Amino acid sequence: MNIAILTGASSGLGQDFLKALTSCDLDSIWIIARRAERLDSLASAFPNKSIIPLPLDITSKDDLIKLENKLKEEKPEVRLLINNAGKGLLSDFVTADGIALSESIALNCNALTLITRLTLPYMKKGSAVINVSSIASFAPTSRMAVYGATKSYVTSFSRALREELKPRGINVTVVCPGPMKTEFLPVAKIEKGKSTAFDYLPYCNPERVAKNAIKSAVRGKAVYTPTAFYKFYRLLAKILPHALVVKFAKT
Ligand SMILES: NC(=O)c1ccc[n+]([C@@H]2O[C@H](COP(=O)([O-])OP(=O)(O)OC[C@H]3O[C@@H](n4cnc5c(N)ncnc54)[C@H](OP(=O)(O)O)[C@@H]3O)[C@@H](O)[C@H]2O)c1
């Protein structure tokens, strides 16, 4: 059984990844998020596809064991793993809600790492991992310092893992979108007038991001950054000293 596993399927970019996956040649798509009712209604929106809702909190050890047991029972061939679930918080660090910060580290770093580790034994030559990072991974991002650091982890981890998995013929693509109009914004407490960057930067289209991310993974690309604007930012962040970039990478 050839499957894809998608985290963070219940909203935003995850829903667009699911839509894109329904046109791929897969026997089944396992979709993960906490809100079970959202997953159920997504599954019933595609009655001709085998979409398996797995309502799990992927920051919970018990729920990760449930996923591990399901993999052990079903022994699928995982053709594509999409680690998409993630969240951030816009705040000066010194006044930030510490619990929310540690939850974002648990989700963006720990959960992504553990799910990749659990899933890799079920992947073969030609399979791929897509890890959703952000433009915030290109340089330190003040007022989203922890979020930027978690996404730098995702980008760095993905590039290293790609190298390790080359001999096994498994590709890892890291996806680095700019802002998108999804539930990410209210979850991160980003409101109009609170962040110059989120008020004025160009927004990415999540449907296009999802489709192109899958295309990039199939083509064996290491990184996919949507739009010429953010590709240019990635280049600037690579060639300029970070002491300078950090001054305009403010949220
Ligand atoms: N939107 C942006 O501006 C932006 C920009 C760059 C990168 N990104 C990245 O894009 C990815 C997708 O975000 P989005 O914009 O689509 O945000 P979103 O609409 O808030 O989606 C986040 C998804 O993660 C799931 N999730 C959150 N906590 C979870 C947990 N503990 N266990 C399982 N699932 C959990 C949520 O579902 P439940 O609440 O149902 O669990 C939801 O499906 C994230 O990695 C984000 O960092 C977003």
Is 148 a pocket residue for ligand 1 (Cβ < 6 Å)?
Answer: no
Is 87 a pocket residue for ligand 1 (Cβ < 6 Å)?
Answer: yes
* Cα→Cα distances 89→5, 34, 66, 102, 183, Å: 26, 19, 28, 11, 12
CA distance 16 to 239: 33
Give per-residue pLDDT as tens, 119-158.
Answer: 999 999 999 999 999 999 999 999 999 999 999 999 999 9
Is 64 a pocket residue for ligand 1 (Cβ < 6 Å)?
Answer: no
From first to last of its 251 residues, the chain has per-residue pLDDT tens of: 999 999 999 999 999 999 999 999 999 999 999 999 999 999 999 999 999 999 999 999 999 999 999 999 999 999 999 999 999 999 999 999 999 999 999 999 999 999 999 999 999 999 999 999 999 999 999 999 999 999 999 999 999 999 999 999 999 999 999 999 999 999 999 999 999 999 999 999 999 999 999 999 999 999 999 999 999 999 999 999 999 999 988 88
The best mutation among 180, 185, 209, 212 to test binding of ligand 1, ranked by most ligand atoms within 8 Å of the C-beta, falls on: 180
CB 169 within 8 A of CB 126: yes
Name residue, tokens 């985290």: 7
CB 143 within 8 A of CB 195: yes
Q: Is the pTM of this model over 0.95?
A: yes
* Atom 31 (ligand 1) nearest CA: 57
* Nearest ligand 1 atom to alpha carbon 59: 31
CA angle 100, 4, 205 (to 5 degrees): 60
- The confidence score (pLDDT) of residue 248 equals 84
Q: Which domains does the chain have, with CATH numbers?
A: 2-248 (3.40.50.720)
- The confidence score (pLDDT) of residue 249 equals 85
Burial 22-38 (b: 16+ CB within 10 A, else e): eeeebeebbbbbbeeeb
CA distance 118 to 115: 5
Q: Which residues contact 225 (CB under 8 A, 6 or more apart)?
A: 135, 175, 176, 177, 231, 234
| Closest by Cα among 70, 142, 56 to 107 | 56
- The confidence score (pLDDT) of residue 250 equals 80
Is 85 a pocket residue for ligand 1 (Cβ < 6 Å)?
Answer: yes
CA of 84 to the centre of ligand 1 (A): 7
Is 171 a pocket residue for ligand 1 (Cβ < 6 Å)?
Answer: no
- The confidence score (pLDDT) of residue 251 equals 86
Is 146 a pocket residue for ligand 1 (Cβ < 6 Å)?
Answer: no
- The amino acid that residue 93 corresponds to is F
List residues bridging with 132 in a β-sheet: 175
- The confidence score (pLDDT) of residue 195 equals 95
